[in-house]
A and B are shown apart, each in its own frame.
Chain A
Amino acid sequence: MTDTPVVRAVNLVKIYQTGALPVPAVRGADLTVDAGEFVAIMGPSGSGKSTLIHMLGGLDTRTSGEIWLDGRRADTLSESGWAVLRREKIGFVFQFFNLVASMTVADNVELPALLGGAPPRQARERREYLLGELGLADRADASPAQLSGGEQQRVALARALANQPRLLLADEPTGNLDSRNTRDVLRLLGKVHTQGQTIVLVTHDARVASMADRVVSLLDGQIVDDGAIPKSRRRPAGGVGDVVELRS
């Protein structure tokens, strides 16, 4: 079973029926993500990126099509079935964080690991590691309301990784970060990816997307490109870049 993809979406469709007219957001997306792969989803706003990733995490229902996670059919699950699946297998970083306001940062991050059955000591060590990597060690006892947007976003990433989930899903995980904090997030994503973490994220930030093995491009709810980011042709490994031209 080692070849079972972590994510398999087949002809996935989402049509929003809010007003009089149905609005198609995702129109027949096929996507397979193997274990350990890092996939970046890009595309203009309104192209269906967020809808797609929300469906993959069970946060939005699909109109038709299939979703398989880790070899299990998931699109037919009830809401509570999805909740269990998410707790066991998925870490999700939302665009708007969704931290529990009444809990400290430390408890927010430890909670998924504890719910997943990790011993408290292990959950604490993992939390300390993740917050440390993200430059938030000294914010552990704060409440989310005391944090800046950028800090909340990093806490949300730490929470999503607390349980070492089978799949990390993230929607614009650096959307609220300045350049320095983005670097911390990139470094952590790179580390967990090297350790085998499967990652699917939506981003318009090229620095984030360039970490991925593969880029999937959406346009008008359809996947118009899906392929590896090539090795650079210009620069021999370890050589000196000519990335900047200073005009003479």
Chain B
Amino acid sequence: MRQSLLALLAKEPAHGYELKQALETIFGSAYPSPNIGQIYVTLGRLEKDGFVRSVDVEQANRPNKKVYYITATGREALETWVEEPTEGPRVRDEFFMKLVLAPMTGLSDRMALMNRQRRHYLALMRDLRELADQTDPANRVALLLIEGAMLHLQADLDWLERCQEDLP
């Protein structure tokens, strides 16, 4: 979350709650709604590292509001992040571990594991479809995020099929 908060602050100074709202608006419901506490913890760390600073803004009849803004160091860190290539997704290997190891222990047979996992993936796909249907068609960012998740899930299913073919 560090970089996304930095990116938002590079656009304009904001307080914690505004950052939470901005993330929700931009990424839609496919994005796990960020916990406000988590945002403040992250902002605190960014401040400690010198990437952001905060000023207290007085409010009438309310506690002071802490508004964060990005520092030159923060902007540099953000630039580095944007420019360096991003790691490819790592294969989600927990299921693969189960698949390889469980039969050795006699806990389960592979066919049953694979069949259950396939049905589970399809249930997840149904969720994603429903999520896409409920998403505002104008929110291209949220829809692309969901489409990306669908493509990953399809790859997981294809891989499962390969496992079913090649693992005895």
A-to-B contact residues, CB < 8 Å: 42-44, 179, 186, 204-207, 209-212, 215, 217, 219, 224-225, 227-235, 240-246, 248
Contact between B125 and A207 (Cβ–Cβ < 8 Å)? yes
* Cβ–Cβ contact A219 & B164, under 8 A: yes
- Known contacts A42-B118, A217-B118, A248-B2; decide if A243 and B154 are in contact (CB<8 Å): no
A230 touches B119 (CB 8 A): yes
Given A210-B126, A210-B129, A246-B31, verify A204-B118 contact (CB < 8 Å): no
Contact status A243-B128, CB under 8 Å: yes
Interchain CB contact under 8 A, A206 and B125: yes
Any chain A CB within 8 A of the CB of B67?
Answer: no
Whether B82 is near chain A, meaning CB under 8 Å from some CB there, is no
CB distance from A85 to the nearest CB of B (A): 31
Pick from A179, A217, A248: contact of B147, CB below 8 A: A179
Q: Is there a chain A Cβ closer than 8 Å to B127's Cβ?
A: yes
Q: Does B19 touch A at the CB level, under 8 Å?
A: no
Given the known interface contacts A209-B125, A210-B125, A244-B31, the answer about A217 and B146 at a Cβ–Cβ threshold of 8 Å is no
Closest 4 CB pairs of A and B: A210-B125, A225-B115, A242-B32, A210-B126
Complex-state Cα separation, A175 to B67, whole angstroms: 52
Given A219-B165, A224-B115, A244-B148, also A206-B127 (CB < 8 A):
no
Is there contact, CB below 8 Å, between A243 and B30? yes
